Amino acid sequence: MVSVLFKPHDLSVRVEEGTSVLQAARLAGVVIESPCNGEGTCGKCKVRLDGRSLMNVAGNGTPHLPKKAEDDLGLVLACRTEIRGNLIVEVPIPPLAESMRILSFGKGFDVPPDGFIRKIFSDGEDRTRVYAGEELVAVEEGNTADRNYGAVVDIGTTTLVASLVDIGTGSEIASASSLNPQSRHAQDVLSRIKFASNADGRRYLQAELVRSINGLIADAAGRSGVRGENVYEVVFSGNTCMLHLAAGADPAPLGRYPYTPQICGGSHVKASDLGLEIAGCGLVYLPPIISAYVGADITSGILASRLRQRKGVTLFVDIGTNGEMVMGCDGKLLATSTAAGPAFEGMNITFGMTASTGAIERFEVDRDGDISLQTIGGAEAAGICGSGLLDIVGELVAHGVINRNGTFVAPDADRLPKTLRERIVTREGKRIFRITEKVFLTQKDIRQVQLAKGAIRSGIEFLLRHAGVVASDVDGVLIAGSFGYHLRPKSLLNTGIIPPEFDGKVDFLGNTSLSGGRAFLINKGLRERMAREVKDVKVIELANDEGFEKTFARALAF
User: Which amino acid does the sequence have at 463?
Assistant: L
170: left (phi over 0), alpha (psi -120 to 50) or beta: left
Say what the pLDDT of residue 43 is: 73
The secondary element (H helix, E strand) that includes residue 57 is: strand 57-58
Alpha-carbon gap, residue 181 to 191, rounded angstroms: 14
pLDDT at 262: 94
Contact status, residue 424 vs residue 433, Cβ threshold 8 Å? yes
User: What's the pLDDT at 97?
Assistant: 45
Q: Domains along the chain? A: 2-94 (3.10.20.30), 99-298 (3.30.420.480), 343-445 (no CATH)
Give the span between the Cα atoms of 30 and 187, in whole angstroms. Answer: 17
**49/251 Cα distance (integer angstroms):** 36
- Give tens-digit pLDDT for 235-284: 999 999 999 999 999 999 999 988 999 999 999 999 999 999 999 999 99
Angle of the 296-305 helix axis to the 524-533 helix axis, nearest 10 = 110
What does R_g of the chain's alpha carbons equal in angstroms? 25
Closest CA to 389 of 450, 338, 431, 430: 450
Q: Phi, psi at residue 526, to the nearest 5°?
A: -65, -30
For the chain, residues with pLDDT lower than 50 are: 62-70, 96-98
DSSP three-state, residue 237: strand
pLDDT for residue 96 = 47
Burial of 414 (0-12, 13-18, 19+ CB in 10 A): exposed
